[in-house]
A and B are shown apart, each in its own frame.
Chain A
Amino acid sequence: MEKLLELKNVHVSFHTYGGEVKAVRGVSFHLEKGESLAIVGESGSGKSVTSKAVMRLLPNKTSEIKEGQILFEGKDLARLPEKGMEKIRGKEISMIFQDPMTSLNPTMTIGKQIMEGLRKHQNMSKSEAQERAINLLKLVGIPNPEIRIKEYPHQFSGGMRQRVVIAIALACNPKVLIADEPTTALDVTIQAQILDLMRDLQKKTGTAIILITHDLGVVANLAQRVAVMYGGTIVETGTVDEIFYNPKHPYTWGLLSSMPKLNAESKELLAIPGTPPDLLNPPKGCPFAARCPHAMQVCLNHMPESTKVSSTHQAACWLLDERAPKVEPPEAALVGGAR
């Protein structure tokens, strides 16, 4: 398979009054043509920052990509000037956002908002762009697109707005679509519809998807591969099956255990004790060590290297070292995998 997008050892920092916040600390992953990769992790793990770094949408004044490469078809996006980025954004890589209630301009008709990108990237005339916009609305399942194209965002419901946001993102047939928690702000029935729609559209258009979420249910639904992020680093990557049925990192175990299960005997919800690391002063060793029930001395002082479990499965944990004691994943994590 061809690597469409590859991140190599990307570091992103924010400069605040309190000091430098190292939000992303050496993230590497790749995305193949037409596949969907999920990035999971809790709030503050760096998943959104990573995706915004790819789009170079982080605020210029307060943040910077300190190291690493973001290779898209051979071009390093991390060093591309703004003008060059404008040709990538929306055309090659586009993005959909979490909250459809606020991510559309309230004073512009949705037709204009869809056509804006088309006219810029594909030099379409007004009527061509309009026709394309109507087709896009039809594609994302909005009834009466000819009429609705002239309406404003406040005339749409939340789910419908997210469809519009998706239509905007797909307007120029991008090669990569980054979906930053696309269903978080929607209610559950609508969530399922939007996920179905995204899966459908991926089949039709062949766009590769990076799905950012903290919802493992969404992952199982849509993704082929998963990267688990914690404390600004990727702690485990693998195929969906590998992550769900054969997780290796204790943080992944924790994530899987904390998924509510319908068939569980106890009504208690499991949580991972403790809080995520302070990225203003990130720990020297493994970021999860402070919350890990299996932490060893080495975990506190040395960052674990990424260890290959299989050709597609890697985890960064000292437990995978041959000198480490054998630890089995907890019962709850295994049940979580048996979906």
Chain B
Amino acid sequence: MSRYLVKRVIYMLITLFIIAAFTFFLMKLLPGSPFRNQDKLTPQQVHALNEKYGLNDPVPVQFVHYMGKLVQGDLGLTFQFDGRTVTSMIKDGIGPSATLGVEAIIFGVIVGLILGVAAALKHNSAIDYGAMVFAVFGAAIPSFVFAGLLQYYIGVKLEWLPVAFWEGPKYHVLPALALSVGIIAQIARFMRNEMLDTLGQDYMITARAKGISKGRTIFVHAIRNSLIPIITILGPMVVNVITGSLVIENIFAIPGIGEQFVKSINVNDYPMIMGTTLFYSALLIFSMLIVDILYGVVDPRIRVAGGKSK
């Protein structure tokens, strides 16, 4: 297991390096430069600023320079505020982003699982059809549409919850809800299919033949076996939440990393673009690793290199 982990971590670092290189050069292809936007600056001032941040060097030199610093854990200075490091910006944004993401995932997964299990147990009933119609809409309609609808009806019309900003638990509900709709839809659909499959397995009859109550056979035997394939979609789901949060944080004016990311692209804040991209990539790669480890925990048949397996 530890050998497997070391191998995985090395692969993760290689992946991160490749992502960093790609992003760096793609970013340099973006039109515009960080200091040309402000009309008030004279060309001399722009040149001086470019000089200060090393932007007059050839791109490969800049790359080597950046990577050298990155290895030491230095993400550089943002262009937007004088003297602030990218690391501190990310640190400021991580709280709201992580809270929002985790809330959306927990809520989405729980509701999705309940809907999926209910739909499977009441196969071909109103509950089943209702859940699946919801799942189709939830998967097809992007989260920002739900965000807008929630803001308008619950925030503006009914005035139950605040429309935007991030100032307390009340402010979490609408963005987390908007972000979780896609998760609910995806999990519900998968869970329903997996449960239907599991419920038809022979070992379910074996369990019933032991005299175990229907409820226990469902909770102990069916749900665990149905969860295994669900874990595989958790990885892509984290991606969905991250991309979703980029938009949702902007719509709800939440001071998170997603908002910083979008803003940094708009103003060509190179170190910030690199920093946030690498942060999201690292998060994603790490969640993939967690998913793989979880997979082994839930399914004994694929416990990796455990020595006596097989």
Contacts and interface: CB of A to CB of B under 8 A. Distances in A.
B53 to A, nearest CB: 55
Contacts of A15: none
B207 interface: yes
Contacts of B48: none
Main SS class of interface, B: helix
Interface stretch (B95-103, B266-274, B296-304): B296-304
A105 B211 contact: no
Interface string B213-226: 11000001100110
A173 to B, nearest CB: 13
B211 A97 contact: no
B45 interface: no
Nearest to B204: A105
A168 B205 CA distance: 13
Contact of B206 (A87, A120, A154, A168): A168
B211 A107 contact: no
B212 A55 contact: no
Max chain A Cβ within 10 angstroms of own Cβ: one of B201, B208, B224, B225: B208
Given A97-B202, A165-B206, A91 B224 contact: no
Contact of B301 (A90, A91, A106, A171): A106
Of the four ranges (under 10, 10 to 19, 20 to 34, 35 or more), the interface on chain B belongs to 20 to 34
A116 B206 CA distance: 11
A95 interface: yes
B152 interface: no
Given A82-B214, A107-B224, A94 B209 contact: yes
Interface string B288-310: 00000000001111000000011
A90 B202 contact: no
A296 interface: no
Main SS class of interface, A: mixed
Contact of A105 (B214, B225, B298, B310): B225
A221 interface: no
Contacts of A154: 300-301
B25 interface: no
B110 interface: no
B205 A106 contact: no
Contacts of A99: 202
A99 B220 CA distance: 21
A107 B223 CA distance: 11
A117 B211 contact: yes
Interface string A169-184: 1010000000000000
Interface string A26-39: 00000000000000
Contacts of A270: none
A309 interface: no
B209 A95 contact: yes
A286 to B, nearest CB: 33
B225 A106 contact: yes
A113 B203 CA distance: 10
A108 interface: yes
A91 B210 CA distance: 7
B216 to A, nearest CB: 8
Nearest to A89: B211
Interface in A98-155: 99, 102-109, 113, 116-117, 120-121, 152, 154-155
B111 interface: no
Contacts of A171: 210
A264 interface: no
Max chain A Cβ within 10 angstroms of own Cβ: one of B207, B220, B310: B207
Contacts of A105: 203, 206-207, 221, 225
A104 B201 CA distance: 9
A169 B298 CA distance: 26
Nearest to A102: B202
Given A57-B205, A107-B224, A155 B210 contact: no
30 contacts: A55-B209, A82-B214, A86-B211, A86-B212, A88-B211, A89-B209, A89-B210, A89-B211, A90-B211, A94-B209, A95-B209, A103-B203, A103-B206, A104-B203, A104-B206, A105-B207, A106-B225, A106-B299, A106-B300, A106-B301, A108-B221, A116-B212, A117-B211, A117-B212, A120-B210, A120-B211, A154-B300, A154-B301, A168-B206, A168-B210
Interface of A: 55, 57, 82, 86-91, 94-95, 97, 99, 102-109, 113, 116-117, 120-121, 152, 154-155, 165, 168-169, 171
Interface of B: 201-203, 205-214, 220-221, 224-225, 228, 298-301, 309-310
The 5 closest A-B pairs by CB, nearest first: A90-B211, A89-B211, A117-B210, A90-B210, A102-B202
